Structures are given as structure tokens and as C-alpha cells.
Amino acid sequence: MDAERKRQLKALGKAEVERRSAELQAALDAANPAPSGSDEWGRGYKKATLRERWLRKKAPILHQKRLEKLFVVVPESSGDWAPYMQCKRCGSVAPTENPRRLIYWASCRCGNIKVRSLWFWHKATIQDPSLILYVKLIGKG
């Protein structure tokens, strides 16, 4: 690989990092719009952290109305693993991993995503994979 190609790839990498950073910063600003460093921002941060902790512990399927009230949805475009998947048809969000519970029986509003667990038996079913978007959730403060 010649030096010119290395420079081009480095510039492309920097541009991608800046784009992702701007997207993440916009999502964080939407989650906690208070001025940074203020008492209001601190209360919002604590509230958002508690919501994210609850989300990790319970791993619920969140339907669109509740999802919009509690979280900011950030699409995972890099192809990396994402903790949640969103149904494009109904807007519900489901965990990508089976929750650690003895009994878990839930689905999205339209039935595209179904997650079933009974004791040691686990099954997740996606009827139409083209309607799935992998996302991360940021708690609103």
C-alpha cells in the first residue's frame, strides 16, 4: 500500500469517527437537554442512569409510546453488536439476548418479534428479519 492510499484511508477513518461522535453527542443532548454542569443536568443524568440500570435488569420489551417517553433510540449502523432490536413495523424494542428469568413470554405489538423462555428453554423468533433495526437505548433525564 502506497503512502497516498494510507493518507486517504486515515482521512476516511477520521471522518467516520467525527460523524459517529456527532451522532452520539446529538443523542446525549436529546436525552438530557439541560446545560452541562448545572444541577438540573446532574438530576437528569442520575434519572437517566437509573432508567438504564432498570433496563439492563428487567430487559423488557418496550412498546413505542413508553419507549419514546423513557429513552432515546440510537441506530447501530456500524454492524457491531447492539443490545436491542427494534421492529420497524410497530416501533417496539426487544432485547437481543434472552433475559435471565425463569419465565419470560413477550412479543412486540405486531408479533414480528417473539421472545420465549421457560426454565432452561429459550427461543427468540423473528418473522420478518428485514423489518429489524439494531439499536442502543439512552435513558432520558
Residues making up the chain, counted from first to last: 141
The more confident residue out of 138 and 141 is 138
Q: Give the cell for residue 100.
A: 435471565
Could you tell me which of 28, 109, 39, 5 has the C-alpha nearest to residue 74? Answer: 28
pLDDT band at 78 (very low <50, low <70, confident <90, very high): low
Please tell me the predicted confidence (pLDDT) of residue 80. 66
In a 13 Å sphere around the CA of 75, the CA atoms on its Cβ side amount to: 6
pLDDT band at 70 (very low <50, low <70, confident <90, very high): very high
**pLDDT, the chain, mean:** 88
Give dist(CA 131, CA 113) in Å, integer: 10
Contact 107, 113 (CB under 8 A): yes
The DSSP element (H or E) to which 4 belongs, if any, is helix 3-31
pTM of the model: 0.79
pLDDT at residue 108 is higher than 80: yes
Contact 74, 138 (CB under 8 A): yes
